[in-house]
Amino acid sequence: MPVVAPSLLSADLFQLGNQIEQIAATTAEYLHVDIMDGHYVPNINFGDKIVGELRQHTELTLDCHIMVDQPEQVIHDVAVAGGDILTFHPETSDHPYRQIQEIHRLGKKAGIAFDPGTAISTYADLLPIVDQVLVMTVSPGFGGQKFLPEMLNKIAQVKRIQQANQYQFDIEVDGGINDQTGQQCVNAGANVLVAGSYVFKNGITPAIMALSQLQQE
- If the CB atoms of residues 88 and 123 are measured against Zn ion, the closer one turns out to be 88
Q: Minimal distance in Å, beta carbon 194 to Zn ion?
A: 6
Nearest to 171 by CA among 179, 162, 180: 162
**Residue from 52, 82, 116, 141 binding ligand DX5 (CB under 6 A):** 141
Stretch that binds Zn ion, among 10-18, 71-79, 119-127, 167-175 (CB under 5 A): 167-175
**Residue from 196, 207, 211, 214 binding ligand DX5 (CB under 6 A):** 196
Q: Please report whether residue 116 would count as binding ligand DX5 according to CB under 6 A.
A: no
Catalytic residues, which ones?
34, 174
Handedness of CA 176, 180, 184, 187 (dihedral sign): positive
Residues 112/100, Cβ–Cβ less than 8 Å: yes
- If the CB atoms of residues 165 and 213 are measured against ligand DX5, the closer one turns out to be 213
Q: How far apart are CA 180 and CA 202, in angstroms?
A: 14
**H-helix or E-strand spanning residue 193:** strand 192-195
Q: Minimal distance in Å, beta carbon 63 to Zn ion?
A: 8
The single-letter DSSP state of residue 15 is G
Residues 101/75, Cβ–Cβ less than 8 Å: no
Q: Please report whether residue 10 would count as binding ligand DX5 according to CB under 6 A.
A: yes
Q: How far apart are CA 84 and CA 193, in angstroms?
A: 17
Beta pairing partners, 30: 61
Q: Please report whether residue 103 would count as binding ligand DX5 according to CB under 6 A.
A: no
Q: Minimal distance in Å, beta carbon 130 to Zn ion?
A: 16
**Residue from 64, 65, 86, 109 binding ligand DX5 (CB under 6 A):** 65
Residue 72 burial (C-beta neighbours within 10 Å; 0-12, 13-18, 19+): middle
Reduced to 3 states (helix: H, G, I; strand: E, B; else coil), residue 39 is coil
Q: Minimal distance in Å, beta carbon 161 to ligand DX5?
A: 23
Interface ranges with ligand DX5 (CB under 6 A): 7, 9-10, 32, 34, 65, 138, 140-145, 174-177, 194-198
Interface ranges with Zn ion (CB under 5 A): 34, 65, 174
